Structure 1
Amino acid sequence: MNRRIVNYFEGLTVICVEGKKIERFLSYLYKLKIEILDVQYIDRHKVIIKVYHCDSDKVLNMKTTYDIKIIGYEGKVKLWLGLKKHVLLLVSIIIGYIFLLYLSNVIFEVEVIHSNAKIRNLIIDELNEKNISKWKFKKSYEGIEKIKKEILNKYKDRLEWIEIENVGTKYIVKVVERKIKEKEENYLYQDIVSTKSAIIMKVEAVEGEIVRRKNDYVKKGDVLISGRIMKGNEVSKIVKASGKIYGEVWYNIKVEHPLFYQSKVLTGEKKRVYQIQFLNFNIPLFDFSPYKEKVVENTNVISNPLIPFKIVKQLQKEAIVEDEIYTDGEALIKAEEQAVKKMEDSLDEEEYIISRRKLKYYIENQKLYLEMFFKVYESIGEAREIMEITE
């Protein structure tokens, strides 16, 4: 083994010796079988020697007229003494690092963005059940994707899509409510008005007077088919207007896709294990043959939301990990497919995407973020009751 490596692990003591006939002192050390690893002569009466740390006490305890004193250490002894000297600093650094690790992995705020308070409360309740709330630990990308799918599946009739974005110590949740065709109101007299800003592409009137034509730009609430039938400048009669109006509508959709993704395929093997969890560290108890990869379901045995420590009972299912690594171009294609699917899922049978284009994309934290613009052929008409009737 390399001498320097041996010296490091053995540890060396650097000793200064002063006195007359210094060679006689060194000879005496050899007789005592004390190995001198290095000798540096300062002058005729002074020398600095290096010996193994285990021999330093023998040198210091020698009964002699020479002045002997330790002036330094090398190897593991120097390291250990340095650690002891700066133990408070080291403990502070370790505690600080653990605290910083805790802070960077804890959720301090969850914000749900939606104009409807009922939808916001619904999402907050669901996230709380899935441990996405204040003072809880952040989820992995796979965990977030799983939660999004579970929420959408549970409320498929109410929610169109949901996005959970991690910004620092905050989760920002964006939700789009599913368009539900309300039961047709049985108005006696009505207009057909626009539900949103659009350019009219097709008008089919069954009853009533068409007041906006193909290629007209309309805003939300504009009358498209009027229930007031005009004769000159006067209303000749009022009817229940009906028909179909389709327009070109515009949407911006934002999506994200990881550059590296792991999927887990279950093998069918499973077992129950108890585990201590502290911050991001997991310590299994009596698990002598751990699965290399697994999917787990946790049940808390001991926990407190204010303390980053708990004991859980886990149902572990063995899995095989399949890695998917995407180039920037491949991730861009996947993100575009995801945006198109999100748009298509919101459309009805006769509605479709007219055109689409990428507005911008960028890569950050091993994810590709994409914003796309869509032109959509979409139904834009709804009934609005005519309230003021003059006989």
Structure 2
Amino acid sequence: MKNHWIEFLFGRVTVKVTGKGIERFLNVLIRNKLHIWNVKHHGTETVTFKMRLNDAMNLRKFARKSECTLSFLQRDGVPFLLKRTLKNSGFLLGAILFFCLILLLSNVVWGIEIKGAKPATEHQIWKELDKMGVKVGKVQFFIDNVETIQRKLTDHIGALTWVGVELNGTTYHFQVVEKNQPKEPELLSPRNLVAKKKATIVNMYVEKGQPVVMINDQVVPGQLLVSGMIGKEGEEKLIAAKGEIWGETWYKSHVELPLQTKFNVFNGHEQKKYSLLIGKWEIPIWGFEKHKFAKYETEKNSQRIRFLKWELPISVVNETIREQEEIIRIYNNLESVGIAVDMAKKDIKNRLDEDAIIKDEKVLHKTFVNGKVKLDIHFKIIENIAKGQPITKEKSE
């Protein structure tokens, strides 16, 4: 028959009927809308059939009016399964607890490996991991995801150029690349050193080549500083000139700063929510109360649930909602000038090489207009002005 699973859900029984007048008894059941199926004859005075558990409750009142006797041969379906399960609840509870224990242990951090770091850097990494809660014995659901851990380590430890973070089972693997790695020697073709900008030379260090300028000389862009042609006349040879020519250069910067600034900051109030993500369905499990923050920022981290070595299609989602508030910062005229100068310095440093030095700065023009301070600033910079220029055959000839 159709929809056997519905009958299984509500329970069904197999009934044996013996006696005289079995056909009349079956017709009575059908007329009273008791559903029966799989009717089988076993001789002339015995028949078996299946019926719903709810209908079987009313079966005996019809049997009393007949010459038949009833017996129940088999009971199956969800109600009987639940009854048997309750009788063996100890085994069921033990199985559930065992499964939960294995599930929990499969999502605990059991190992952390750091490779490629010097002892001092490795010590810093361990300290940062401890601050982030990445430690042996911690449940992975309460730890940031791999991308966040990688970003925080790179931001907080200056000695790191790059760190790779991989979660393999219950072990975190960190592969570290530190800064100041030895550079491979640069292979250079014959070249001169020329000025890349207008400057007054203040210092020189020539490792290879023939200097053609002196300290306090003023040079212009493209002017020859160190020649790559050395040796006596008629015996010249070409080399790759190498050195540093430090010159005093000049920059102008224009900067504007509002005297009143609005910005958002976190005030320390936050709310956490946890949920299970199964496919596209997200089921809340903790933190049902709706937040009352007017302005806020939401951060979500998801962690896949593991069972032994398998990754289940279920994730624990950790959602943090942080309240923001608007702050209005007002500078007076003196403060605004100092901050504007600092902004200009940072802008200049971003345009220069790392080893360049700001020697002096002078405010050329200062105005306060429409709630802003506007500055024109002149900077004196000490920087390496030399750049390589290949020596062509035409030049050497």
TM-score (norm 2): 0.45
Which has more radius of gyration? 2
Question: TM-score of the superposition, structure 1-length normalised?
Answer: 0.46
